[in-house]
Amino acid sequence: MNVKHILKDLEELCLKLGIILRYEKTSARGGLCKVEDKFYIIIDKKAKDDYKVSVIAKSLKNFDLSKFHLKPKLREYLDEVQ
């Protein structure tokens, strides 16, 4: 899978999990945050796709993904994320 495909699949997974994914102009590194009862992943909109993938994948480590059908390559990628 190339980075664009992984990013698209991760964005779809965020939707299924109810995580609000925001690409914003920011100088922060980005990551997962919780406001009241909602989870957000905020990433600099100018970041490269491989960085976006990394931030989302690391953020998703906080969630139980076992109940979701994931493409084998995507699950393998997520399992390798530190």
The predicted structure's pLDDT at residue 81: 86
Contact in structure between 42 and 62 (CB atoms under 8 Å): no
Question: Nearest CA to 8 among 62, 64, 77?
Answer: 77
Cα-trace Rg, the chain: 12
The predicted structure's pLDDT at residue 28: 87
Q: Which residues in the chain show pLDDT less than 50? A: none
The predicted structure's pLDDT at residue 78: 93
CA separation, residue 68 to residues 2, 36, 46, 50 (Å): 21, 25, 30, 23
Domain ranges of the chain: 3-75
